[in-house]
Amino acid sequence: MRRQQLNLLTTTLIITLFCSCSLTQADPQTRLINKGCSTYNATNLSNFYQNLNATLLDLKSQVGNENKHFATAQSAKGANPVYALFQCRNYLSNSDCSACFAVAAAQIRNCSAGSNGARVIYDGCFL
Residue 58 forms part of a structural domain: yes
19 pLDDT above the threshold of 70: no
pLDDT the model gives residue 119: 97
Average pLDDT estimate for 9-35: 67
Stronger pLDDT, 13 or 32, i.e. the higher one: 32
Residue 82 forms part of a structural domain: yes
State phi, psi for 125 to the nearest 5 degrees: -160, 170
Domain count for the chain, please give it: 1
5 pLDDT above the threshold of 70: no
CATH number reported for the structural domain that contains residue 116 in this entry: 3.30.430.20
CA distance 76 to 109: 18
Domain span at 61: 29-126
User: Helix, strand, or coil here: 60?
Assistant: helix
Residue 121 forms part of a structural domain: yes
pLDDT the model gives residue 22: 44
pLDDT the model gives residue 67: 79
15 pLDDT above the threshold of 60: no
Stronger pLDDT, 24 or 91, i.e. the higher one: 91
pLDDT digits (tens, 9 = 90+) for 65-110: 887 899 999 999 998 999 999 999 999 999 999 999 999 999 999 9
pLDDT the model gives residue 107: 95
Burial class (CB in 10 A: 0-12, 13-18, 19+), 112: exposed
Residue 22 forms part of a structural domain: no
Residue 94 forms part of a structural domain: yes
The model scores a pTM over 0.75 = yes
Residue 49 forms part of a structural domain: yes
Q: Work out the mean pLDDT of the chain and round it to a whole number.
A: 86
Average pLDDT estimate for 120-126: 97
Residue of 123, 124, 122, 121 lying closest to 36 (CA atoms): 121
